[in-house]
Structure 1
Amino acid sequence: MLSADLAQGDAAEGRPPVSAASVPRVSIVVPAYNAAGVIAATIQSVLASTFTDFELIVLDDGSTDGTAEVVRSFNDPRIRLTRHANRGMSATRNAGLRMSRSEFVALLDADDVWHPEKLALQVALLEQHPEVDLCFTEFQAWHGEPAEAFFARRGDLRTEDRLTGWIYPLMVLTNFTLPSSVLYRRRLADRLGPFRCEDHQTDDWEYFTRASRLTRVAKLSTPLVLYRQSASSLSKRVPRRNATEDMRSQLLARFGWQCPHGGAVNRAELRRRQHLGRLRHADVHVARGSLGLGLLDFARLIARGPRRHAAAMTLAKSLRRRALGLLPRSASAIA
C-alpha cells in the first residue's frame, strides 16, 4: 500500500500513484532545501548511473528559490518530486523513507555527486553478501571544480577491512558513513525506524551507529561520491554547543561500551578523540566565535590535561588567527 506522503506527493505533481508492479530495486532519497544552484549536477550524476532500476525521490523542504523548477526540468519518469513546508534534513529524510518502496534505499544530499558505477557496485556487493545489510563507500571532498579523474576512475568491489564487518566500536569514535555514500536493504530500514530529529549535525551519526549494532556493514575502498564543500559554510556562526562530544556521550549512554558482535569501544582512543574534539571546539571559538567560551574551554583543557603544553600552544595560535582574521585549521591539523 502506498503511503499518504507518496500519494500526496504524486498528486501534487499531477501524476497518478505508482502501481506495486512497477516498484524499482533502489529508492534514492534526496532532501533539498534552496538547492537550485547545485541540484542539477546531483540529478545528472544519478541519471548517468550504470545501474538504472531506481526511483529518485526529491523532497523540496520548503525551498524559497527555484529548486522545484530545476527538478521539474528533467524529463525522466524515474524522478518523483514532492514539496512540503520546511521540516529540516532529518524529518525530510524520514518523509522520503516513508515514500520509498524498493528493496534497497540510498541517501543522497542535494549538493553531492555520484560516480556512475556507485549504485551498480553497491547492489552487486549486497547481492554477493546476504549477511551484509549496509554498504558505504569512500568519498572525495569537492568544491565544484571539474573532476575528470573522479569520473574516469574505474570502481571495483575491494573493501576496506577495518570498516567492514561489525563496526559499532569504531562508529562511537566518529561517523565514518557519509549519508550520500550509503546503500542499505529495506529490511534494515524497517528495523531501524526513523532518523532522530534532534540535531542535523549528528542525527545521521546516531542512525548509522544504531545500524552498526544490527548488521555487518561493508565499505568500498574506491571514492564513489563527490562530497561538496561550500566555502560559505566556513563563515557561518560557530555553534556554542559541542555537538560532536555531546553525541559521543549520548551514543555511549544509549548503546553502551560493548556490542554483542563487534566487541568493545577502545577507551584510550576515545579519550584521545574527546580531547581533540574539545581542543577543536575551543580553537574554533577563540579564532572566530565566542572568545569567552573558547577561553573557558582552553582553561579547562590546560587545567585538566592531557597535553597541557600543546593546548597552551594551540591557544596562542588561535588568538593570533583571531587577531589576523584567519580561519581556523581542520581538526586533524590540531592533533
Structure 2
Amino acid sequence: MRTSIIIPCLNAEAYLGVAIRSLLNQTRPPHEIIVADNGSQDGSRRIARSFGAPVRLVGVPERGASRARLAGFAEAEGEALMFCDADDLLAPETLAALVGALEAGEGDIACAPWYRFEQGQGGAWHWAPPSCAPRCAGQDDLSAWLGGWYHPPCSVLWSRAAYQRSGGWDPDLAVNQDGDVMMRGLARGNVLARTASGAAFYRRLPGGGSLSGTARSERGVAARLEVNARIIDLLEGSGRLPRYRSALAGSLERIACDIPSDAEALRTRCADLALRLGNVPDVAQARPRWPTGSGPPGPDPHTRPSIAASANRPDLRVSVVIPAYNRAATIARAVASALAQHPPPLEVIVVDDGSTDATREVVEAIADPRLRLVSQPNAGVSAARNRGIAEARGGLVAFLDSDDEWLPGKLAAQVARFRSAGPRLGLVYTGFESLAADGSRTVHRARHKGWIYRDLLARNVVTGCGSTAMASRAALELVGGFDPALAANEDYDLVLRITRFFEADCVPGPFARYHDGSATEARVSRHAGANRASRRVLFARYGEDMRRAGTAHLFFIASAERELFLAGGTIPVAMRAAARAILSRPQRPYAWRWAATRFLPQLFRRAVSHGASRA
C-alpha cells in the first residue's frame, strides 16, 4: 500500500524542514510527500525543493489550507492518504503501524496515539498529553468525536476509498475542517481503527496557538455549528439520528458556551439545531465563556528556531561547543584537544557562562582563528550549550565539557558515521575513559545504536554525552536543544528527545577522557539532590512511554542505583525507588532480586551493629 502525505503550506519555513524530515525518517517511508504551497513569501518553497524525491512541491494559487489539501489530493498517487500540517511530526514507527492496520483490514481509517508538542521557556520542545476531551466508555467513534475527543490529521491515515466516501475537505468552511471531514466520514460508515504503536506530535506554538488557528473565535463557532448541521442531516437521512441525539445535544451545548452574548444570530442558529433533536436542554441559556466582544485570547507571535532546516545534502562541517564556568585550570586542555582533531573542526566555540575567575583570559590567550569566545551572564550549562548551538555554523555540533578532553581521531570517527548513514541518523556518540584522581583509568565502551529510544526509557545508555556526543543540526532543530530547567540529566533528556525521532550510532572505543578527580567535584550532575529532582521530571515526561514499553521498573532501579552512588544520596530514598520498581512490575523477579542483593546485606549489618552496641 503506497502512502501519500499532503502538507498544506503557507509561510511555514520555521518548521517545514523538520516536519518533512520526520516523515522521511519513517521505518516504512511514504511513497510521496506533496507540499501544497498557498503562495509562501518566505523560504518554504526553497526548503521543500531542497529535499528532492519523494518530496514534491505543488503551487496552489487559491488561499486556504483546505484548498491546498484538495490540490495535493488531486496530485496524490497513493492508496493511503495522510494530511499533515507543516509543523507536525511523526515518530519513526508511526506510518508502519497505520499502514499495517489498514492492510490488515482493521478499519477504513487508522489513527495513532498523539501528543501535544510544546516549547518550554528555555526553548526545548517536549511532548505532553492530548488536549482533547477523554473518550467515555461505550462511545462509538462518532459519538466520541462529537463529545470533544479527536485525533489531529497528522495522526490519521485514510484509505483512498474512505476519504472519498467522506466527501473530502470543504474549502468554504472557516475552521474545524478536520472535524468536519472526519465526522462526515464516520457518519457515512467509515470504520476507525486505533493503533497501539506509533505517535504523532501536534505542535503548539508559543502562546498556545497552532498553525491551524482556533475553533473558539466567532468564525470558529459558526463553522462548528455548520458541521453539526451537516452531521444531523446525514444521520437523519440514514435513519440513525436517534442513536446520536444525546451526543449531538452535548456538542451543541458546548458550542453555545463559546458564543458571545451579543451574537444573536449564532445563538438562534444553535437553538434551531437543538430543536431538530427533539427533547434536549435549552442551549439558549448556556453562558458564554468570555465577555461580550472580547473573544478568546489569540496566540502570541511565534519565533523561528535558531537553526536552519536541513534537507538531503548533508553539511558535515563540525562546530564544537564548550560551555565553561570558572574553568581557568582546565579550559586550555579542553580547547587544545578540540583544535588538535584531524580533520580539523570548522570552529570551536567557548561559551563563557559568567565566569568570575580567569577563564575568559585563558581562552583569549589561545591564538587560533577557529576559536571563538562568546560570553553571557551565568545561566547554567544547558543555556550555555544552547547559546553555542545558536552560534554554530556547521551542520554537525559536537559537545565537550570544559574539564574533559578528547582523544585523537574522535571527530573523524563520528563524521565518518554521519557520512555513511542516511538522514535518519541524528546522533553519534563514542566510548570514553574515566581518569580518577589517583591516576586509575576505567574504560566505558559505547554499545547501543539504531532506534534506541526504548533502551533509553530503561536507563541512560548514552553516558558521558556532554563530551562524547555529536548531533546533527536537524536533530537539534527539531527538539530545541537542551532544557535549562533541568539541573541534572539534561543530556539524558536531550538524547531521549532526539532518539524519539532519529536513529543513533556509536563509536565503541574511548575517544573522550572524563576527568573524575577533585577538579570535577563541583559537577551538579554528581549530586543526588539534583539527580533526584531531575529524574522526577523525566518520569513525568516519559513515564507513559516507559509503562507502555515495560521499562518503568528498570528506570526506578536506575534511580535507586544513583541514589546509592551519588554524594548526598540516602538508603531510604533508594529503597523507595526500589519499591516503586517492584510495584511497577510485581510479577517480574528482577526488581525483587535487585532490592534483596542491595539492601538486605546493609540491613543485616545495621541490625548486627545495633545489637553489638546494646550488648
Structure 1: distance between partners of 2:580 and 2:456: 29
Q: Is the 8 A contact 1:134 1:184 kept in 2?
A: yes
> Higher Cα Rg: structure 1 or 2?
2
In the TM superposition, residue 164 of structure 1 has moved relative to its aligned partner by: 1.3
Q: Is the 8 A contact 2:458 2:554 kept in 1?
A: no
In the TM superposition, residue 145 of structure 1 has moved relative to its aligned partner by: 7.6
2:371 paired residue among 72, 75, 79: 79
* In the alignment, structure 1 residue 38 sits paired with structure 2 residue 325: no
1:194 partner letter: G
Alpha carbons of 1:234 and 1:128: their partners in 2 closer, same or farther (altered >3 Å)?
Answer: same
Q: Is the 8 A contact 2:331 2:402 kept in 1?
A: yes
Structure 2: distance between partners of 1:320 and 1:106: 52
Per the alignment, residue 473 of structure 2 pairs with 186
Alpha carbons of 1:54 and 1:143: their partners in 2 closer, same or farther (altered >3 Å)?
Answer: farther
Per the alignment, residue 203 of structure 1 pairs with 490
What pairs with 1:255-270 in structure 2 (closer than 5 Å)?
256-257=545-546, 265-267=549-551, 270=552
Per the alignment, residue 229 of structure 1 pairs with 516
Q: Is the 8 A contact 2:320 2:345 kept in 1?
A: no
* In the alignment, structure 1 residue 312 sits paired with structure 2 residue 312: no
What pairs with 1:115-264 in structure 2 (closer than 5 Å)?
115-130=407-422, 131-143=424-436, 163-177=448-462, 178-231=465-518, 238-239=528-529, 242-243=532-533, 245-253=535-543, 256-257=545-546
What pairs with 1:289-300 in structure 2 (closer than 5 Å)?
289=568, 294-295=571-572, 298=575
Structure 2: distance between partners of 1:105 and 1:98: 10
Q: Is the 8 A contact 1:278 1:297 kept in 2?
A: yes
1:265 partner letter: A
How big is each residue's C-alpha offset from its partner over 1:28-86, in whole Å with a ceiling of 9 and x where there is no partner? 11100000111111111112111114200001101111101111111001000011110
Alignment TM-score, normalising by the size of structure 2: 0.40
Alpha carbons of 1:317 and 1:244: their partners in 2 closer, same or farther (altered >3 Å)?
Answer: farther
Alpha carbons of 1:99 and 1:232: their partners in 2 closer, same or farther (altered >3 Å)?
Answer: closer
How big is each residue's C-alpha offset from its partner over 1:106-158, in whole Å with a ceiling of 9 and x where there is no partner? 111101111121111111110111232211111111237889999xxxxxxxx
Per the alignment, residue 355 of structure 2 pairs with 63
Structure 2: distance between partners of 1:45 and 1:39: 10
In the TM superposition, residue 302 of structure 1 has moved relative to its aligned partner by: 7.6
2:502 partner letter: T
Per the alignment, residue 403 of structure 2 pairs with 111
Q: Is the 8 A contact 2:457 2:555 kept in 1?
A: no
Alpha carbons of 1:318 and 1:126: their partners in 2 closer, same or farther (altered >3 Å)?
Answer: farther
Structure 1: distance between partners of 2:580 and 2:425: 46
Per the alignment, residue 560 of structure 2 pairs with 278
Alpha carbons of 1:114 and 1:214: their partners in 2 closer, same or farther (altered >3 Å)?
Answer: same
Alpha carbons of 1:90 and 1:318: their partners in 2 closer, same or farther (altered >3 Å)?
Answer: farther
Alpha carbons of 1:64 and 1:142: their partners in 2 closer, same or farther (altered >3 Å)?
Answer: same
1:312 partner letter: L
Structure 1: distance between partners of 2:607 and 2:559: 18
1:93 paired residue among 353, 368, 385: 385
Structure 2: distance between partners of 1:146 and 1:138: 19
Structure 1: distance between partners of 2:501 and 2:577: 37
5+ residue gaps in structure 2?
Answer: 1-314, 583-591, 610-615
In the TM superposition, residue 251 of structure 1 has moved relative to its aligned partner by: 4.0
Q: Is the 8 A contact 2:434 2:441 kept in 1?
A: no
1:107 partner letter: F
Per the alignment, residue 324 of structure 1 pairs with none
In the TM superposition, residue 24 of structure 1 has moved relative to its aligned partner by: 8.8
Structure 2: distance between partners of 1:102 and 1:203: 23
Q: How many residues align?
A: 277
SS at match of 2:458: coil
Alpha carbons of 1:148 and 1:40: their partners in 2 closer, same or farther (altered >3 Å)?
Answer: farther
Q: Once the two structures are aligned, what percentage of the paired residues are identical?
A: 28
SS at match of 1:134: strand
Alpha carbons of 1:144 and 1:80: their partners in 2 closer, same or farther (altered >3 Å)?
Answer: farther
1:27 partner letter: S
Structure 2: distance between partners of 1:312 and 1:148: 31
Q: Is the 8 A contact 1:115 1:224 kept in 2?
A: yes
Alpha carbons of 1:47 and 1:149: their partners in 2 closer, same or farther (altered >3 Å)?
Answer: farther
Q: Is the 8 A contact 2:430 2:510 kept in 1?
A: yes
Structure 2: distance between partners of 1:68 and 1:319: 54
Alpha carbons of 1:74 and 1:216: their partners in 2 closer, same or farther (altered >3 Å)?
Answer: same
Root-mean-square deviation over aligned CA pairs: 3.6
Structure 2: distance between partners of 1:95 and 1:74: 21
Structure 1: distance between partners of 2:596 and 2:390: 52
